[in-house]
Chain A
């Protein structure tokens, strides 16, 4: 079945360490997205990528970095510069062409990152 896989489901790190969250999709989608979810704040866009080797900052990109070397993969690195990294992180994807543009974004099941 096609879908988006995020791993791991739970991740624990010490303060000051960088950590990379994985997102893989086999939907042949061009665009991929990272969202952060905090209690009472909904989902906020961190970074997105429309094509391989290209990505743009979202609303809260500070302290994060991404890469898009393959169409299927869009890893997110939470750096030590991110002041409040503990959160739930969701990955999504979309295909700008060939699908109805009112289609909902499929999401992965998320990664819960805890930094202590």
Chain B
């Protein structure tokens, strides 16, 4: 079974600084997707960024980027120029690549990110 591990229960960063959240996963599959979701105090789940395992290039979305190391099964999230609105719970998630069928996500335990003004 696939597992996702986030080893940092809490992180904090000064506003405008850069922070990196860690995620490792375990799978025997070669083709899959990885996601970072953000959950603010409203508890809504918001997609931050996604990565296809077959792509070597790291995904970027504005201030958010990932460091995807497939051999090491590592998928870290870097947030540049941190803003107060980035404060939230962040979840790393894994999903097998499937042509059809249920797209079950496996989540890590989450990292609570605090932004200090």
- On A, residues with C-beta under 8 Å from B are 31, 33, 35, 40-45, 48-50, 56, 58, 88, 90, 92, 94, 96-97, 101-102, 104-105, 107, 109-110
Contact = CB atoms under 8 A, between A and B. Distances in A.
**Residue picked from A42, A43, A44, A48, most chain B C-beta under 10 Å:** A42
Contact of B104 (A40, A58, A107): A58
A110 B43 contact: yes
B45 A107 contact: yes
A42 B52 contact: no
Contacts of B105: 33, 43, 45, 92, 105
Contacts of B37: 104
Given A40-B9, A42-B110, A96 B103 contact: yes
Interface string B92-117: 00000111111111111110000000
A105 B106 CA distance: 12
A43 B91 contact: yes
B68 interface: no
A42 B102 contact: no
B47 interface: yes
Chain B contact residues, majority secondary structure: loop
A90 B91 CA distance: 14
A41 B102 contact: no
Contact of A109 (B44, B50, B52, B110): B44
Interface string B44-65: 1101001010000000000000
A22 B99 CA distance: 29
Given A31-B102, A48-B104, A97-B100, 13 more contacts: A33-B102, A33-B104, A42-B108, A45-B104, A50-B102, A56-B102, A96-B99, A96-B100, A96-B102, A102-B97, A104-B37, A107-B44, A109-B44
Interface in B1-53: 4, 6, 9, 33, 35, 37, 42-45, 47, 50, 52
List the 8 closest pairs (A to B, CB-CB), nearest first.
A42-B107, A107-B45, A104-B47, A43-B107, A96-B100, A42-B109, A94-B103, A31-B102
